[in-house]
């Protein structure tokens, strides 16, 4: 069940692409229906989340802190007092927040998924404070195409935030030399990175050092992704 701030009717095309098991709803309807509620929204909008309505829900936090790309700055994030997921948890005190599905882009989240046992199946991290909630999200991630490694608590989730070794780059394809900018973007959309094993994911998490300053930057992302992001922001559409 999908929802957004603009209303169910604006999701008709996407629902049609996803098939007969998908449907659009209001935000309140989606929250009420979901055992898992994913929030792939800009972190700057986190206070718009209806805290009371999410009480008791397992909330998949897909937000990332990018102060460079928005007008949103947070002293508690900049100082390292809280991680972005802890900030979400503080806003949703009665929900069970789990950090997941945040460290690769919207396109590769679906494009990289592979069945269990497939040689190209890759591994994503998860972090959270509630063991049962984290296990539920882990099972969901495995069901939709990913192996999973536990990155610890929400306080430790800085290890999987922007500008850390497991963020974005391992899941992006290496772009060959000699391509035009348009060819680079197309190649990026049509290929995946090398699969990351559980052991490799654990190593990437363990060797992380907390970035300084805290928060991601466009310079820390694959150039082809940045180019696509900027064109989408201007109203362009990409299909693979």
Q: What is the pLDDT of residues 183-203, one digit of tens each?
A: 999 999 999 999 999 999 999
pLDDT for 117: 95
pLDDT band for position 233 (cuts 50, 70, 90)? low
How, if at all, do strands 96-99 and 147-150 pair? unpaired
C-alpha to C-alpha distance for 157 and 82, rounded to whole angstroms: 10
Look-up of token digits 């928060």: 215
Write the pLDDT tens digit of every residue in 128-173. 999 999 999 999 999 999 999 999 999 999 999 999 999 999 999 9
Instruction: Name the 3-class secondary structure at 125.
Output: strand
Higher pLDDT, 216 or 233: 216
Banded pLDDT at 239 (limits 50, 70, 90): very low
* Max Cα–Cα distance, the chain, nearest Å: 53
Domains of the chain as residue ranges with CATH: 34-233 (3.40.50.720)
């Amino acid at each position: 069940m999908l929802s957004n701030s603009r209303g169910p009717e604006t999701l008709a095309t996407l629902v049609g692409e996803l098939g007969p098991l998908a449907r659009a709803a209001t935000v309140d309807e989606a929250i009420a229906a979901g055992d898992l509620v994913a929030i792939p929204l800009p972190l700057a909008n986190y206070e718009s989340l209806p805290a009371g309505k999410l009480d008791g829900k397992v909330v998949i936090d897909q937000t990332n802190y990018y102060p460079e790309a928005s007008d949103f700055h947070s002293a508690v994030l900049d100082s390292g007092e809280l991680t972005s997921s802890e900030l979400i948890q503080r806003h949703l005190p009665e929900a069970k927040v789990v950090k997941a599905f945040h460290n690769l882009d919207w396109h590769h989240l679906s494009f990289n998924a592979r069945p269990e046992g497939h040689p190209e199946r890759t591994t994503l991290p998860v972090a959270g404070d509630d063991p049962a909630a984290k296990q539920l999200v882990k099972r969901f991630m495995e069901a939709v195409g990913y192996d999973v490694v536990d990155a610890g608590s929400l306080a430790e989730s800085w290890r999987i935030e922007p500008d850390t070794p497991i963020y974005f780059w391992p899941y992006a394809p290496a772009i060959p030399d000699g391509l035009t900018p348009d060819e680079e973007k197309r190649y990026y959309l049509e290929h995946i990175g090398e699969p990351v094993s559980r052991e490799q994911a654990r190593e990437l998490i363990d060797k992380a050092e907390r970035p300084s300053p805290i928060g991601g930057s466009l310079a820390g992302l694959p150039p082809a992704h940045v180019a696509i992001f900027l064109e989408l922001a201007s109203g362009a559409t990409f299909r693979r």
